[in-house]
Structure 1
Amino acid sequence: MLAGKKGLVIGIANDKSIAYGCARAFQRDGADLAITYLNQKAEKYVRPLAEEVGASIIAPLDVCDDSQADALFDEIEEKWGKLDFVLHCIAFAPADDLHGRVIDCSRDGFLTAMDISCHSFQRMAKRAEPLMRDGGALLTVSYMGSERVIDHYGIMGPVKAALESATRYMAAELGPKDIRVHAISPGPLLTRAASGIAEFDNLMTQAKTRAPEHRLVTIDEIGDLASFLASERSRAITGDVVHIDGGYHIMG
């Protein structure tokens, strides 16, 4: 589905990462990848995974550092001359703000969570736009806590709601250039980011119990969806929040 396509994957932390499951699917379906790591500490975990999927570009990216983002996209333009899709799979909130009540969230904590988890997607889209001369796809990852109150999800609920809203506006703005924008909303599964949420094991147990399929999704199944959305087979779909949770989100 992705033969000849060039894609950027942001957010691999380890082999349990949603972004890693997506990268494997992208590579399997023929894409050439650029993969980023947060810092030197993360590089030793990410680089072997990037090499495993044959990434042509492996580069540092702290999304708060504009110089690193500029260097990454300069390298992509120099090496490939184009970009067909981007997967943005990062989220962060300071622990004190994440574990407290929404109304107790500090100003700095809220701004940090919004900057890294939401606005960075817009910044990546802005840099990708001129490289998507023949259209493309921008993908991000959300969670059901954007739509309803999930215990212990806290400030990330409003932040993910903002991310989903941004997805719709970006889809409307970039549609005339044949650039599609999607938010993927998986059910709960154990990733490094999820491990920071209090009592996350209970969320996974509840999802397995209540979902019509009575199981959790896998990173490879999320990868299959992401690969479809990055391909021309999804050319008439944009601006949606696409749930992949065994039907958990339909249950009352």
Structure 2
Amino acid sequence: MTDFLKLAGKNIVVTGVANRKSVAWHIAKTLEEAGAKVIYVVRSEARKESTAKLLADRQVLVCDVEFQEQIDKLRDDLTAAGHKIHGLVHSMAFADYSEGMKPFHETTKAQFLQAVDISCFSLVKLSNALKDVFDEDASVVTISISTTTMASENYGFMAPIKAALDSSLAFLTKSFSSFSRVRFNAVGPSLLKTSASAGIPGYVDAYLYAEQVIPRKSAVTTQEAADVAVFLLSPRSSGIQAQNIAVDAGMSINYFDKNIIGGVLKHES
């Protein structure tokens, strides 16, 4: 069977490509392999230059989601080009940890609100701006995390923001349903080996721990998360709406692995 995902010829906007390790890049190249036309959106001219070799001969637009005028320009550029958008990948997150990792209760208002704006509210702003450019059955996919209720100290204040992102899916679904069938879903991977994650204090230790908890003893790959995102972007996932699909290779069911318990008890004794 050819074109099982029915993505050939579809126009998909992909935000957030920074380098070859990016979740967005893995999604984009898989979409291209499926025959989709990918329109890349990066956050700055500097990022456009740094990805010039990686994204050679592809359409690349610039949009910093902290500025509404740039979001409006993105909409205008897509409209002027006559693009009907069949999918949007929202793959962006930012948290200011420049002062080091602190207890959650010491998070500043400025840090939290900036992270909400870039990592969560940008999905609302982009969706609203592109509502008239979307195909009636377009699919919007954001990148979340596998759980927002586990208090992982090394993830700082981002988990509550991802929780807001997940909740936004239901409300975007409801509000868009009055005039379209646009779908909103998230992919929630467990710990991935990306350039962005490498900058989080203590992340490497958490990643190695995850590999021990996962039943297969190997972490989720970025491509595995990307494959789920591509499925959610495709018409084959038309019955899935307002969901965060966890991609954790079973990590969440295996915290009481006897070997891990034994190691902890042995260490404490």
**Which interval holds the TM-score relative to the shorter structure?**
over 0.9
Distance across 1 between alignment mates of 2:183 and 2:115: 25
Structure 2 match to 1:144: 146
SS in 1 for 2:240: coil
Matches within 5 A, 1:208-223: 208-223=211-226
TM-score norm. by structure 1 comes to 0.93
Structure 1 residues 169 and 43, CA, compared in 2 at 3 Å: closer, same or farther? same
Structure 2 match to 1:251: 254
Structure 1 match to 2:191: 188
Shift of 1:144: 3.2
After superposition, the C-alpha distances for 1:75-133 in whole angstroms (9 at most, x for unaligned) are 11122331111001111111147711211111111110100000001111112221124
1:29 aligns with 2:34: yes
Structure 2 match to 1:49: 54
Distance across 1 between alignment mates of 2:177 and 2:95: 31
Runs of 4+ in 1 over 4 A off after TM superposition: none
Matches within 5 A, 1:1-252: 1=5, 2-51=7-56, 55=58, 57-96=59-98, 99-175=101-177, 177-252=180-255
Distance across 2 between alignment mates of 1:76 and 1:210: 44
Distance across 2 between alignment mates of 1:139 and 1:99: 29
Tell whether the 8 Å contact from 1:88 to 1:139 is kept in structure 2 after alignment: yes
Percent identity among equivalent residues?
28
Q: Which runs of 5+ in 1 are unaligned?
A: none
Q: Which has the larger radius of gyration?
A: 2
Structure 1 residues 101 and 42, CA, compared in 2 at 3 Å: closer, same or farther? same
Q: Which runs of 5+ in 2 are unaligned?
A: 256-269
What is the Cα-based RMSD across aligned positions, in Å?
1.7
Tell whether the 8 Å contact from 1:98 to 1:197 is kept in structure 2 after alignment: no
Tell whether the 8 Å contact from 1:138 to 1:180 is kept in structure 2 after alignment: yes
Distance across 1 between alignment mates of 2:200 and 2:13: 27
Matched residue type, 1:149: A
Higher relative contact order (CA 8 A, sep 6+): 1
Greater percentage in helix: 1
TM-score norm. by structure 2 comes to 0.87
Tell whether the 8 Å contact from 1:18 to 1:219 is kept in structure 2 after alignment: yes
Matched residue type, 2:119: S
